[in-house]
Chain A
Amino acid sequence: MKVRFWGVRGGIPVPGPDTVRVGGNTPCVEVRTPDGDLIILDAGSGIRPLGLALQREFPKRLICSLLISHTHWDHIQGFPFFAPARRRHNRIVIFGEKRVDERLEQILAGQMRAVYLPFALKDLHADLLIKEMWDGETLVIGDHTLVNVRSLEHPGGVFGFRITNRGNVVAYATDVGHGPSGLDQRVVDLARSADLLIHDAQFSVEQKAHHWDWGHSSWEDGVRVAIAAGAKRLALFHHDVLATDDELEELEQRVQTVFPGAFVAREGLELIIPARE
């Protein structure tokens, strides 16, 4: 499997001289399987450059699954600018939480109302298939690719994903908090024996102590989950808007002394996960 980061920042895109190396786009991760399945995790602003790249790679027809962890703005704001969504022959299957209060389609269309944008969801001419899912469901992406969906702790709720393909596992747990009493076992289950765990690391340890109920984690939480779950690699993800390249690189060095498989997720970083025997 191949994993490429297109947006790693939380909250709001932060372009500027201090974020050039790590990147300022909000969350978007591309996952490809050896069978050709294309999964996009979240539609933050990072999905815009991903869309351009996919246009070049699949000029005739693109088929992909877009998994929305939750609909906070930084996770959907890039979708209107996802160029493949404008092409008639592309099929984009969007998976998101089935809510009792509002349909996923209404939420996606809501951020594209005329007061916010000059074009609407219906102006995206691709074959957009919006599918809602419950906690605990499994998605069949392809013949050999399944995704387990778990509901985790975050204000307003969030889904974590465990993508499996021929024994390889990528776990995605962003915007997730663990509370003061210990690790959320659901996150550990999701990351069990993962080749790669992408985990929220918005907070410093000090910030986490003050805002444990904001639904975010510190790098320390990520490391503890990775160790508890037996994950091989840990991508620290969803960086704070104030975190500079220097600070994040310094953090990476510190974390690697504790968990050598850990690294700071950077825009453009591609990770190749070797197939299991």
Chain B
Amino acid sequence: MTREKILVIDDSEAILSLLTEKVLPLEGYTAITANNGQDGLALGLTVQPDLILLDLDLPDVHGLELLRSWQAQGLHAPVIIMTGYGSENVAIEALRLGVRDYIVKPFTTEEILSSVARALMESRLRRDKENLTAALQRRVQQLSVLYSVSKAVASLLDLDALLRRIVELSISITGAEEGYLALREGKNGDLYIRVAKNLGHKDIRRLRLKVRDDTFAQVLKTGKPLRFSAADEDSTIQAGYMARALLQVPIKFKDHVIGVLSVDNQVQRRDFTADDEAMLSALADHAAIAIENARLYEALRTSEQQYRSAIESAPDALAIIGNAYCFTFANEEFARITGYTRDELIGMDFRKLIIPEQVPTMVDCYLRRQRGEAVPRCHPVTILTKQGTHKNLEIDATVCWDEDGRASTHISLRESAPQAIPDVTLVTACYEANNGVCLLDGQGCVQWANPAMLALTDSSPTELIGRPLWEVLDIAGGEDAFTTALKATALETSGQISFARPGNEAQTMQIQLTCLSRHEGARRFLGIVSSAPENHT
């Protein structure tokens, strides 16, 4: 607490010396004395005391005159009157003039001190309130600065711009002359100064200087802020650069120190305060998150670029269909195969690219895939090129959902073995055939079945498509036998397997398998079911 100034005005040397040498200093007050009214009047106005102890009976001026003059000149210090007994009328007048207390001789020093303490209480409370209000305003200001700071840094994704911004803000909130930001980089986690704003340099410089500095190293090691002032020792700080006052705080992310934020004063003799430290630490916390965000964003962007360029130059024809039948992406190969330009493809309805006969099946697959139902990835497709020609291809489709639940279908097209792909006439023939005809994927699951096949298995297309054929037909030996037959067929191009007719075990049926594509992962089989031991397609 500051020592409160008390002006004592009394013509008695005995009382002056008692109060100013013994009583008041013991209680921590600073006493100023005047032994006559004129001096007292002037001192009251010039030294701005916290309290005045006034003897009414002064040799030159009456104490009441002093009170009137002070009142006229706006002096608000509380006044305690000391006087002899028998001056009640004066007391009333003095109270009118605003004296705080009235002490009549004889009195004890204890009485004086308690009267002084009472009178000062009010001004102490007022001063405390002013101090608290000022402190509160300072805090609110700091909080609003921090709020704007966090908004400013959080929105920056460009790392270099972000680091520059952090250093600018560090300087502006601490009022420092210089600012540096160093980050740990490389395998060894060495500290490199990334951004510096120096005294006299208006611009912020981008650097990549390895830090060889004890104070930086200390902050890095301890993870605690460091605050020095030149007053500690009358020399400049033992840093890699000269400074009179220095403040460094760690930039921490998940308990790891990822860098150091540093400000200093070279010229001013202004030290950094605990408030500065708190503010800079708070900024460093925001900065840490923003720096990590920016780094992640950078990494994400890099990986996306790599991914994109890989897709662009892939030998396969790749495209993405959005959730409204339209292409959202197509690579060069896809454009080459379809005959359209990439620009024409973007936004184009994929149904335009398929021969009309296949549209219902493809749309069915497209919609079911989007609903998350199990649909075979690969199947044959005949596309209609821009030039109006048909191309028999294999399509491999998967579906992805973004975080909002929107589906996009990623497709790749491959040219399949032309001899194995049935042309339209053949497909029509198969469709109308009396024998059960089906298309199987590499695992033996039904991809397509003609009406005769549906009748044979007594199933609807939805029930049949996607199910393994051995299960549908209840083939003896089940999966093992059927898979063995499929493998043999893939090697030999054709094969056959027998089974008992569903619902009539006495009648043996056989299924003639033809491998349509040997391409690993896109293997296809055509199955023709007949009851006769010999069958002709």
- Please state if B108 and A133 are interface contacts (CB–CB under 8 Å): yes
- Please state if A143 and B11 are interface contacts (CB–CB under 8 Å): yes
Partner of B18, one of A131, A133, A138, A166: A138
Could you tell me the dominant secondary structure of chain A's interface residues? strand
Interface residues in A124-150 (C-beta closer than 8 Å to B): 131, 133-134, 137-146
Interface residues in B44-103 (C-beta closer than 8 Å to A): 55, 57, 82, 84-86
Partner of A140, one of B11, B15, B57, B85: B15
Report the separation of the CA atoms of residues A263 and B418 in the bound assembly, to the nearest whole angstrom: 150
- Please state if B111 and A164 are interface contacts (CB–CB under 8 Å): no
Q: A91-B85, A138-B18, A138-B23 are contacts. A143–B12 as well, Cβ < 8 Å?
A: yes
Nearest chain A residue, comparing its CB with the CB of B15: A140
Report the separation of the CA atoms of residues A221 and B527 in the bound assembly, to the nearest whole angstrom: 140
B141 within 8 A of A: no
What A residues does B57 contact at CB under 8 A? 143
B110 within 8 A of A: yes
- Please state if A63 and B86 are interface contacts (CB–CB under 8 Å): yes
Residue total for A at the interface (Cβ-Cβ under 8 A): 21
B241 within 8 A of A: no
Q: A63-B86, A141-B105, A142-B84 are contacts. A133–B15 as well, Cβ < 8 Å?
A: no
What B residues does A145 contact at CB under 8 A? 14
A151 within 8 A of B: no
What A residues does B12 contact at CB under 8 A? 143-144
Partner of B14, one of A91, A131, A137, A144: A144
Report the separation of the CA atoms of residues A61 and B98 in the bound assembly, to the nearest whole angstrom: 30
Interface residues in B143-162 (C-beta closer than 8 Å to A): none
What A residues does B22 contact at CB under 8 A? 138
What A residues does B186 contact at CB under 8 A? none
A93 within 8 A of B: yes
Report the separation of the CA atoms of residues A139 and B109 in the bound assembly, to the nearest whole angstrom: 6
Nearest chain A residue, comparing its CB with the CB of B82: A140
- Please state if B105 and A137 are interface contacts (CB–CB under 8 Å): no
Nearest chain B residue, comparing its CB with the CB of A131: B108
Nearest chain A residue, comparing its CB with the CB of B19: A140
What A residues does B108 contact at CB under 8 A? 95, 131, 133, 137-140
Report the separation of the CA atoms of residues A141 and B10 in the bound assembly, to the nearest whole angstrom: 14
Give the interface size bracket for B toward A: 20 to 34
B392 to chain A, nearest CB (A): 115
Interface residues in A200-227 (C-beta closer than 8 Å to B): none
Q: A63-B86, A146-B18 are contacts. A139–B107 as well, Cβ < 8 Å?
A: yes
Q: A143-B15, A144-B12, A164-B14 are contacts. A137–B110 as well, Cβ < 8 Å?
A: yes
- Please state if B106 and A133 are interface contacts (CB–CB under 8 Å): no
A141 to chain B, nearest CB (A): 4
- Please state if B18 and A134 are interface contacts (CB–CB under 8 Å): no
B407 to chain A, nearest CB (A): 90
Interface residues in B234-258 (C-beta closer than 8 Å to A): none
B314 to chain A, nearest CB (A): 99
What A residues does B106 contact at CB under 8 A? 65, 93, 95, 131, 139-142
What B residues does A138 contact at CB under 8 A? 18, 22-23, 108-109
What A residues does B18 contact at CB under 8 A? 138, 140, 146
Report the separation of the CA atoms of residues A65 and B23 in the bound assembly, to the nearest whole angstrom: 21
Interface residues in B109-134 (C-beta closer than 8 Å to A): 109-112
- Please state if B110 and A140 are interface contacts (CB–CB under 8 Å): no
Report the separation of the CA atoms of residues A61 and B18 in the bound assembly, to the nearest whole angstrom: 29
Report the separation of the CA atoms of residues A134 and B113 in the bound assembly, to the nearest whole angstrom: 13
Interface residues in A31-83 (C-beta closer than 8 Å to B): 61, 63, 65
What B residues does A93 contact at CB under 8 A? 106
What A residues does B86 contact at CB under 8 A? 61, 63
Report the separation of the CA atoms of residues A182 and B364 in the bound assembly, to the nearest whole angstrom: 122
- Please state if A63 and B85 are interface contacts (CB–CB under 8 Å): yes
What B residues does A144 contact at CB under 8 A? 12, 14
- Please state if B109 and A140 are interface contacts (CB–CB under 8 Å): yes
B12 to chain A, nearest CB (A): 4
Which one of B11, B108, B109, B112 has the greatest number of beta carbons of chain A within 10 Å?
Answer: B108
Nearest chain A residue, comparing its CB with the CB of B111: A131
Report the separation of the CA atoms of residues A204 and B285 in the bound assembly, to the nearest whole angstrom: 87
Report the separation of the CA atoms of residues A142 and B82 in the bound assembly, to the nearest whole angstrom: 10
A97 to chain B, nearest CB (A): 12
Annotate B22-56 by CB proximity to A: 1 below 8 A, 0 otherwise: 11000000000000000000000000000000010
- Please state if B14 and A146 are interface contacts (CB–CB under 8 Å): yes
Which one of A65, A93, A140 has the greatest number of beta carbons of chain B within 10 Å?
Answer: A140
Report the separation of the CA atoms of residues A93 and B85 in the bound assembly, to the nearest whole angstrom: 11
What B residues does A65 contact at CB under 8 A? 106
B245 to chain A, nearest CB (A): 48
Known: A133-B110, A142-B105. 20 other contacts (CB 8 A): A63-B86, A65-B106, A91-B85, A131-B106, A134-B110, A137-B109, A138-B18, A138-B22, A138-B23, A138-B108, A139-B107, A140-B107, A140-B112, A143-B14, A143-B15, A143-B57, A144-B14, A146-B15, A146-B18, A164-B14
Pairs A–B under 8 Å by Cβ, sample size 22:
A63-B85, A131-B106, A131-B107, A133-B110, A137-B109, A137-B110, A138-B23, A139-B106, A140-B18, A140-B107, A140-B108, A140-B112, A141-B105, A142-B105, A142-B106, A143-B10, A143-B15, A144-B12, A144-B14, A146-B18, A164-B14, A166-B14
